[in-house]
Amino acid sequence: MERLQLLNTHRIITATVFSIMTFIPIMAQQKIVQTAGRQQLGDFAPEFAHLNDDILFGEVWSRNDLLSLRDRSLVTITSLISQDITDNSLKYHLATAKQNGITRTEIAEIITHIAFYAGWPKAWAAFNLAKEVWNDDIKGEDAKAAFARTMIFPIGEPNTAYARYFTGNSYLAPISTGQIPFFNVTFEPGCRNNWHIHKADKGGGQMLVGVAGRGWYQEEGKPAVEILPGTVVHIPANVKHWHGATRDSWFAHLAFEVPGEKTETEWLGPVNDEEYNKLESK
C-alpha cells in the first residue's frame, strides 16, 4: 500500500514538473558582443580584455535566455551602487539599463530602494549619473506620466481613430456619455489637429475647457488664443479653426459638442509648421 502511494506521488510530481516545463516561456538568446576590453586594455592586459569581452559579456551576459538583459542590468547597477562604484562603469551600465528597457521612473524607484540598504550618499551619487542618462526621457513616456499626475481627468488611450487628422500624438478619454457627452483630449508637445469645421444647420459648435498644460486655439483670419487651465473657448458652428499644444508643453482640454441640427465635422488640411512655429516666436 505504501509503495503504491509512493508510486502515485511520484507520478503526480513528474506530471507537475512536466506541465511547468511545458508552459514556461522560453526566451530567445541574444549574443552580446563587447569590444571595450580589447580597445582599452588589449595591449596592456590582453587576458583581462579577453575575460571582460568574451567571458563576462560574451558568455555571462549572453545567457539572457535564462535571465533577461533587463534583469541583468538591474542586478549589475544594484551591485555597483552598493559598492560605491559611481565612475564611468556605472554610467555605462545605467545607459545599458536604459537600452534594456528600464525607464526613468523605474530607475528613480530602483535607486531610492537601494538607498535604504546601501546608503544615502551612494544613492545621491548614482542619481547624479542617472539624471544624465535619462535626461532626454522627460520628452517621452515619463513626461506623459508626469503630466497625467497634474490633472484630475485621465489621459485615456491613443487617439488612433482620428490620428490622420492630427500632427503628432494625441489621446482621448471619454468622461461622460450621458446627457452632455464630453471627452478629455490630450496633446503631446507640438501636437495639433487639422483645420476643421463643426457644421450645423442650427445650433452646434463646440466648447473647450483647458485642463492642464498650455495650448493654442485659432480661428481662420484671427490671432491664436492661448489656452491655460480654466480657459473656456466657445467655438461657433461653421467656423474654420484648429487647436492643440504649444511646441514645448503637454496640453489637455475638455471637449463638449454643442447639440444642433444636421451636425457633422469637416476635416481639412493640417496646420503647417511655418504658421505653427510663428506662434511660438510671438
**CATH classification at residue 115:** 1.20.1290.10
Same-domain pairing of 162 and 254: yes
- Same domain membership, residue 95 and residue 193: no
Cell numbers that stand for 176 in this block: 461622460
The rounded distance, in Å, linking the Cα atoms of 159 and 41 is 52
Supply the pLDDT for residue 18: 35
For residue range 159-186, what is the model confidence (pLDDT) as tens digits? 888 888 999 889 999 998 888 889 999 9
Three-state secondary structure of 101-147: CCCHHHHHHHHHHHHHHHCHHHHHHHHHHHHHHCHHHHHCHHHHHHH
Instruction: List the Cα angle 134/247/222 in 5-degree steps.
Output: 170
For residue 150, tell me if it sits in a domain.
Answer: no
Same domain, 63 and 164: no
Residue-level pLDDT at 105: 81
Q: At 14, is the pLDDT very low, low, confident or very high (cuts 50, 70, 90)?
A: very low
Do 130 and 192 fall into the same domain?
Answer: no
CA 217 – CA 219 distance, rounded (Å): 7
Q: What is the pLDDT of residues 223-236, one digit of tens each?
A: 999 999 999 999 99
Both 188 and 124 in one domain: the answer is no
Looking at the fold, whether 100 and 168 belong to one and the same domain comes out as no
Q: Name the DSSP class of 168.
A: S
pLDDT-derived band of residue 57, with 50, 70 and 90 as boundaries? Answer: confident
Q: Which of 240, 186, 235 is nearest to 213 (CA)?
A: 186
Residues 132 and 239 in one domain: no
The tally of CA atoms less than 13 A away on the side-chain side of residue 185 is: 26
What is the chain's length?
282
162 belongs to a structural domain: yes
Residue 59 has pLDDT above 90, yes or no: no
Is pTM beyond 0.85? Reply is: no
Q: Are 127 and 161 found together in one domain?
A: no
- CATH code for the domain of 247: 2.60.120.10
Residue 273 structural domain = 157-280
**φ/ψ bin of 134: left (φ > 0), alpha (ψ from -120 to 50), beta (otherwise):** alpha
Q: Is residue 71 part of a domain?
A: yes
CB 153, CB 184: distance < 8 Å = yes
For residue 197, the one-letter residue type is I
Question: Would 143 be classed as within a structural domain?
Answer: no
For residue 5, pLDDT beyond 80:
no
**Cβ contact 100:136 at 8 Å:** no
Query: Cα separation of 73 and 80, whole Å?
Result: 11
Residue range 196-221: mean pLDDT, rounded: 94
43 and 113: one domain? yes
**What percentage of the chain carries pLDDT values higher than 70?**
87
Number of domains within the chain: 2
Residues 101 and 194 both lie in one domain? no
